[in-house]
């Protein structure tokens, strides 16, 4: 005969269940039938599924997984053997805390690599902008027979040559409207500046900026250096250590 409370099989003449001490004297034949096969708790399955998903959902499902796991454990233990799946529930509760440090370590490896890639992309876009501006300056000087006046070079390029406001922005800079300056000393060459002379360089946020090394900044690229366009139209990312070698004015 089976105990109706816990399902343990007992001797037919037993007075109490040998497992849970339930009185077996009044057990009817219907009660004495073998306990039906235990069902796996749906909540326990849900807990495990949510737990396994949690690393993919940035741990949004971690708390529901743990709550469902605990609820299903309580129900399983109170079900007198009709429900099973406590292993699944425990796994559902355990997966998020075990995965969290693993995911954190992975992020620690991936994030710096992503940041470097982002910085590299910023440099490329920045250099493309500056080359486009230098070409616009060339078009302007061909059209008007003189270089744009340094004190309003941004305005002149916007008004007379097809440049967009985005071309004046370095994505690594905190704000605009322009992050570039023209080398004010170019006028001192009387139109005969050597190819390697600075034409455009990176500076602090502003507009129509002109000057020399005193307003150059490497902050747009995390202090690694800055983009320079030279008089011959080529661009270079010049590292901070070699910025002192740049040519700005006649000797
Ligand atoms: Zn029992
Ligand atoms: Zn830049």
- Residues 150-197 pLDDT 10s: 999 999 999 999 899 999 999 999 998 999 999 999 888 887 889 999
Measured CA to CA, the distance from residue 122 to residue 184 in angstroms comes to: 26
Distance 119 CA to ligand 2 centre (A): 10
What is the pLDDT at residue 133? Answer: 96
Q: First vs last Cα of the chain: how many Å apart?
A: 109
Ligand closest to CA 224:
2
142 against 35, higher pLDDT? 142
Q: Ligand 2 centroid vs 7 CA: distance in angstroms?
A: 75
Position 131 confidence tier, pLDDT thresholds 50, 70, 90: very high
Backbone angles phi, psi at 194, to 5 degrees: -65, 155
pLDDT recorded at residue 32: 55
Query: Is pLDDT larger for residue 58 or for residue 151?
Result: 151
Q: What's the rounded Cα separation, in Å, for the pair 119 and 113?
A: 10
pLDDT of residue 34: 63
Q: How far apart are CA 67 and CA 46, in angstroms?
A: 10
CB distance 59 to 66 below 8 Å: no
pLDDT of 126 above 70: yes
**How far is residue 229's CA from residue 235's CA, in Å, rounded to a whole number?**
4
Can you give the C-alpha Rg of the chain in angstroms? 37
**Residue indicated by tokens 């360089």:** 201
Distance separating alpha carbons of residues 190 and 186, to the nearest angstrom: 8
Percent of the chain with pLDDT over 90: 57
Residue written as tokens 């500076």?
A: 203
CB 50 within 8 A of CB 68: yes
Specify the pLDDT at position 120.
Answer: 94
- The answer to whether residues 216 and 200 touch, using CB atoms and an 8 Å cutoff, is no
pLDDT at residue 19 greater than cutoff 70: yes
At residue 46, the pLDDT reads 92
62-77 vs 86-144: helix crossing angle, rounded to 10: 170
**Which ligand has the minimum distance to the alpha carbon of residue 226?**
2
* pLDDT for the residue numbered 104: 87
Distances (CA, A) of 21 to 4, 10, 15, 212: 11, 11, 9, 94
Residue 25 has pLDDT above 80, yes or no: no
Residue 222: predicted pLDDT: 93
Predicted complex ipTM: 0.52
Q: Per the structure block, which two tokens stand in for 215? A: 């307003």
Long-range pairs, 8-17, Cβ under 8 A, ≥24: 9/34
Residues within 5 A (CB) of ion ligand 2:
126, 170, 202, 220
Q: Is 85 left (phi over 0), alpha (psi -120 to 50) or beta?
A: left
pLDDT tens sequence across 182-239: 999 988 888 788 999 999 999 999 999 999 999 999 999 999 999 999 999 999 999 9
CA–CA separation, 135 vs 202, rounded Å?
A: 17
Per-residue pLDDT tens digits for 28-55: 655 555 667 888 899 999 999 998 888 8
Question: How much distance in Å is there from the Cα of 48 to the middle of ligand 1?
Answer: 30
For the chain, the residue count is 251
Q: Which residues surround ligand 1, an ion (CB under 5 A)?
A: 3, 5-6, 8, 17, 19-20, 22
């Amino acid at each position: 005969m089976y105990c109706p409370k816990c399902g343990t099989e007992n001797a037919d003449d037993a007075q109490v269940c040998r497992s849970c001490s339930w009185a077996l004297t009044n057990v009817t034949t219907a009660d004495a039938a073998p306990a039906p096969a235990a069902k796996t708790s749906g909540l326990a399955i849900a807990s495990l599924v949510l737990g396994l998903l949690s690393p993919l959902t940035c741990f949004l499902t971690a708390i529901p997984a743990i709550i469902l796991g605990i609820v299903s454990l309580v129900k399983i233990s109170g079900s007198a053997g009709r429900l099973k799946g406590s292993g699944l529930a425990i796994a559902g509760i355990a997966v998020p805390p075990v995965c969290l440090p693993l995911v954190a370590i992975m992020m620690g490896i991936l994030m710096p690599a992503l940041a470097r890639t982002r910085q590299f992309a910023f440099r490329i876009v920045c250099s493309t902008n500056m080359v486009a501006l230098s070409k616009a300056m060339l078009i302007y000087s061909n059209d008007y027979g003189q270089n744009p006046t340094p004190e309003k070079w941004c305005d002149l390029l916007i008004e007379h040559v097809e440049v967009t406001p985005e071309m004046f922005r370095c994505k690594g800079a905190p704000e605009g409207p322009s992050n570039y300056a023209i080398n004010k000393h170019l006028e001192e060459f009387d139109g005969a500046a050597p190819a390697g002379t600075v034409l455009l360089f990176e500076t602090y946020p502003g507009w129509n900026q002109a000057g020399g090394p005193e307003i150059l900044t490497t902050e747009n690229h995390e202090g690694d250096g800055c983009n320079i366009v030279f008089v011959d139209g080529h661009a270079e990312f010049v590292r901070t250590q070699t910025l002192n070698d740049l040519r700005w004015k006649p000797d």
